[in-house]
């Protein structure tokens, strides 16, 4: 049996959520920020903010993961009108791929032009360190290889084309601007640029799987982000992505180390201030016209 999202007129579900939000706030965001595990404090820095619990927004999924508050927060950040997701949705929670990416099309209907995605990720690149910030230049969509794609099914022509290009998924100009911001803030020592790989979760990767992902060219691995980015590009949004390296993956059978969620949250919280400063500076310097 299919879910309501899969069986219903999808556009009506997105529109119902967007119309409810437009009726409950006079905020009209042009930038959306998705806050990953332990990074939700960024939304608390918004000025003149108003928040809504996901459970109150029509058709919105529910976030069940520790470190995800489950709120949509509207406000201003460095002069730009923004909306922040304090927590996202994952395949491993039992959500369909359409539900995972649901907010993105709602954002598009609200008038959002640029999407900033953040996540906590495991470091695959041996030159990385815990606490590094990685600007995402590309991704590997492992669930997509098995047909888990948010664009699967009849195309929503009112959002985008049937076969959207993904070779430019992460905007080069935005990455360059972010690197300038990192330089100004003195963050270059822990700022990287690399490839993010999405896996389904919720189990962390085995040693053999980590070695395979390294061979594929991935620099970091996590359980989110890619469905949101694919949907955003389908809608014509510009995308900038950041991974906080919260742990280094285990690639040796002799190692006694292991991954656990508490470490992920702790490292995310320790790097939250730097990430907040970076995103705030970045948003303030963004061009008003997304085509610039």
- pLDDT exceeds cutoff 70 at 292: no
Q: How far is CA 81 from CA 25, 75, 113, 130, 167, in A?
A: 12, 6, 11, 32, 28
Buried b / exposed e over 172-193, threshold 16 CB at 10 Å, is eebbebbbebbeeeebeebbbe
- pLDDT exceeds cutoff 90 at 265: no
Q: What is the number of other CB atoms lying within 10 angstroms of the CB of residue 82?
A: 26
Q: What is the pLDDT of residues 90-143, one digit of tens each?
A: 999 999 999 999 999 999 999 999 999 999 999 999 999 999 999 999 999 999
Spatial CA neighbour of 197 closest among 257, 241, 132: 241
Q: Which residue of the set 68, 95, 139, 234 is catalytic?
A: 68
Q: What is the pLDDT of residues 71-91, one digit of tens each?
A: 999 999 999 999 999 989 999
Instruction: Give dist(CA 68, CA 135) in Å, integer.
Output: 22
Buried b / exposed e over 224-242, threshold 16 CB at 10 Å, is bbbbbbbbbbbbebbbbbb
Q: Which residue of the set 247, 268, 281, 286 is catalytic?
A: 247
Strand partners, 119: 243
pLDDT at 220: 98
- What are residue 247's phi and psi, to 5 degrees? -160, 160
pLDDT at 40: 79
Q: Which residue of the set 261, 263, 270, 277 is catalytic?
A: 261
268 is catalytic: no
Strand intervals (E) in the chain: 31-35, 47-53, 71-77, 80-86, 114-123, 133-141, 191-198, 220-222, 238-248
120 is catalytic: yes
Q: What is the pLDDT of residues 224-248, one digit of tens each?
A: 999 999 999 999 999 999 999 999 9
DSSP, collapsed to helix, strand or coil, labels residue 184 as helix
* Residues 20-44, mean pLDDT to the nearest whole number: 91
128 is catalytic: no
Instruction: Give dist(CA 41, CA 240) in Å, integer.
Output: 19
- pLDDT exceeds cutoff 50 at 2: no
Instruction: Give dist(CA 198, CA 143) in Å, integer.
Output: 7
pLDDT at 41: 82
139 is catalytic: no
Cβ atoms of 118 and 242 within 8 Å: the answer is yes
Q: Which residue of the set 54, 85, 93, 232 is catalytic?
A: 93
Q: What is the number of other CB atoms lying within 10 angstroms of the CB of residue 115?
A: 25
What is the CA 57 to chain-centroid distance, rounded? 20
247 is catalytic: yes
Q: Which residue of the set 5, 76, 81, 92 is catalytic?
A: 92
Q: How confident is the model at residue 267 (pLDDT cuts 50, 70, 90)?
A: confident
What is the CA 259 to chain-centroid distance, rounded? 21
Q: Which residue of the set 121, 223, 274, 286 is catalytic?
A: 223
Q: Which residue of the set 18, 43, 69, 120 is catalytic?
A: 120
Q: What is the pLDDT of residues 169-218, one digit of tens each?
A: 999 999 999 999 999 999 999 999 999 999 999 999 999 999 999 999 99
Q: Which residue of the set 59, 90, 125, 141 is catalytic?
A: 90
| pTM (two decimals) | 0.93
224 is catalytic: yes
- pLDDT exceeds cutoff 50 at 11: yes
Instruction: Give dist(CA 162, CA 180) in Å, integer.
Output: 35
* Conformation bin of residue 266: beta by default, left when phi > 0, alpha when psi is -120 to 50: alpha
In the chain, the domains with their CATH numbers are 4-285 (3.40.50.1580)
DSSP, collapsed to helix, strand or coil, labels residue 106 as helix
- pLDDT exceeds cutoff 70 at 4: no
258 is catalytic: no
179 is catalytic: no
Instruction: Give dist(CA 84, CA 269) in Å, integer.
Output: 17
Instruction: Give dist(CA 177, CA 221) in Å, integer.
Output: 24
Asked if the bond preceding 199 is cis, omega within 30° of 0, the reply is no
């Amino acid at each position: 049996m299919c879910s309501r999202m899969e069986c219903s007129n999808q556009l009506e579900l997105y529109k119902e959520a967007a119309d409810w939000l437009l009726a409950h706030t006079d905020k009209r965001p042009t930038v959306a920020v998705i806050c990953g595990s332990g990074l939700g404090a960024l939304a608390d820095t918004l000025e003149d903010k108003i928040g809504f619990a996901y459970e109150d927004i029509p058709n919105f999924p529910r976030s069940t993961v520790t470190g995800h508050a489950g709120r949509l927060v509207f406000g201003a950040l460095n002069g730009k009108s923004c909306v922040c997701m304090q927590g996202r949705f994952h395949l491993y929670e039992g959500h369909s791929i359409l539900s995972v990416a649901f907010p993105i099309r709602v954002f598009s209907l609200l008038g959002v032009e640029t999407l900033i995605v953040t996540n906590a990720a495991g470091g695959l690149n041996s030159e990385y360190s815990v606490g590094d910030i990685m600007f995402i230049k590309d991704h590997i969509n492992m669930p997509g290889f098995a047909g888990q794609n948010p664009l699967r099914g009849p195309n929503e022509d009112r959002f985008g084309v049937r076969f959207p290009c993904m070779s430019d998924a992460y905007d080069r100009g935005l990455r360059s601007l972010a690197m300038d911001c990192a330089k100004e803030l003195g963050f270059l020592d822990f700022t990287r640029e690399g490839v993010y790989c999405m896996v389904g979760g919720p189990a962390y990767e085995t040693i053999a799987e980590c070695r395979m992902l390294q061979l594929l060219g991935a620099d970091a691995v996590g359980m989110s982000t890619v469905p949101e980015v694919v949907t955003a590009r389908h809608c014509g949004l510009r995308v900038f992505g950041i991974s906080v390296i919260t742990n280094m993956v285990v690639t040796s059978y002799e190692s006694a180390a292991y991954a656990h969620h508490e470490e992920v949250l702790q490292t995310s919280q320790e790097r939250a201030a730097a990430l907040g400063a970076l995103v705030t500076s970045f948003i303030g310097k963004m061009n008003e016209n997304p085509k610039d």
